[in-house]
Amino acid sequence: MRVVFAGTPEFSVPCLEACRASGAEVVAVYTQPDRPAGRGRKLAPSPVKQAALAAGIAVEQPESLKGAEAQATLAAWRPDLMVVVAYGLILPRKVLAIPRLGCWNVHASLLPRWRGAAPIQRAILAGDAETGVDLMQMEAGLDTGPVLLEKRTPITRDDTGGTLHDRLAALGAAALAEGLRRVLAGETLAATPQAADGVVYAHKLDKAESALDFTRPAIALERQVHAFDPWPGSDAELAGERVRIWAARAIEQSHAATAGAVIGAHRDGIVVACGEGALCITALQRAGGRRISATDYLNARPELRSPRAP
């Protein structure tokens, strides 16, 4: 079976490896054009391109798949199946029709919940107890196709955008590997239409969302800190200084303090008043600095150590 793989970020790489290990022939890899990265803003290849070149697989990087030339190039690879994992480009109907078996997509949510660009972080932000990956038969709509396979995982209170990303990347590769194994064995996977109810869209993350608003409930801020680790981070003003918060936990604490006021500072963390409850900050970063513990921060700002009255 001839497979064309389309993906771009680190999340896609385990799925590319699953394709290579399945026994199918990965004839080409499609990925986004090289983009400026780092302080020097030099053009850098995507993680998927790096993995493909290391494996000796041909790489295609069209700006779009809407044109006849790009579609003819794809058709020339004679794919039986196209596997799409966080590729970043829209696939027109004509592209979906090129492979004999159509196009599969690995999506990091339990559809129809969290269709769209940022399902991992949105699930944490919403306080979802569970998420997973769906192997989906692609159609023209945004993440609307029928589901071929599904794998689930709980979201723990300690999960971050980073830890859940890595777990779902591995889970997605496992789902894809199972789907490929079964099809290569001659099985036709049953396609289950998505439910009409429960559709929620996971809008793309924006740096403007990084600001912590202490007038909100502490549990909402805890989820934001976790969801936005490692990107875009959670920024706040702490006792007159702009910092980035990397680890925090909501605590039930009654107070009459103004939202954002420090109401406790000790070895367990820096406690900040919120609209409901309080947020205990345990890891943070000063401007131009590195991630440090709350204890190290208090060593630099000993005036905060005196407990503030609620």
**Domain map of the chain by residue range?**
2-202, 209-305
Sequence-separated (6 or more) residues with CB below 8 Å from residue 140: 93, 96
Q: Are 245 and 284 in contact (CB under 8 A)?
A: yes
> Does residue 56 come out as left (phi exceeding 0), alpha (psi in the -120 to 50 range) or beta?
left
Architecture of domain 2-202: 3-Layer(aba) Sandwich (3.40)
SS3 content of the chain, % helix, strand, coil (to 5): 30, 30, 40
* CA–CA gap between residue 71 and residue 5 (Å, rounded): 15
Q: Are 53 and 28 in contact (CB under 8 A)?
A: no
Whether omega for the bond prior to residue 307 falls within 30 degrees of 0, making it cis, is no
**Other Cβ atoms within 10 Å of 182 Cβ, number:** 14
111 annotated ligand-binding residue: yes
Which pLDDT belongs to residue 309? 40
Question: Which of 3.40.50.300, 3.10.25.10, 3.40.50.80, 3.40.50.150 would CATH assign to domain 209-305?
Answer: 3.10.25.10
Q: What is the CA radius of gyration of the chain?
A: 23
Give the sign of the dihedral formed by CA 226, CA 229, CA 235, CA 240: positive
**pLDDT tens for the 310 residues of the chain, in order:** 999 999 999 999 999 999 999 999 999 999 999 999 888 889 999 999 999 999 999 999 999 999 999 999 999 999 999 999 999 998 999 999 999 999 999 999 999 999 999 999 999 999 999 999 999 999 999 999 999 999 999 999 999 999 999 999 999 999 999 999 999 999 999 999 999 999 999 999 999 999 999 999 999 999 999 999 999 999 999 999 999 999 999 999 999 999 999 999 998 999 999 999 999 999 999 999 999 999 999 999 999 986 544 4
Which pLDDT belongs to residue 306? 60
Q: Are 233 and 148 in contact (CB under 8 A)?
A: no
Which pLDDT belongs to residue 38? 83
Q: Are 16 and 5 in contact (CB under 8 A)?
A: yes
Q: How far is CA 123 from the centre of its chain?
A: 10
278-286 and 291-293 strand pairing: antiparallel
Which pLDDT belongs to residue 307? 53
The token pair that represents 100 in the structure block: 């004999």
Q: How far is CA 263 from the centre of its chain?
A: 34
Which pLDDT belongs to residue 308? 46
109 annotated ligand-binding residue: yes
Which pLDDT belongs to residue 310? 40
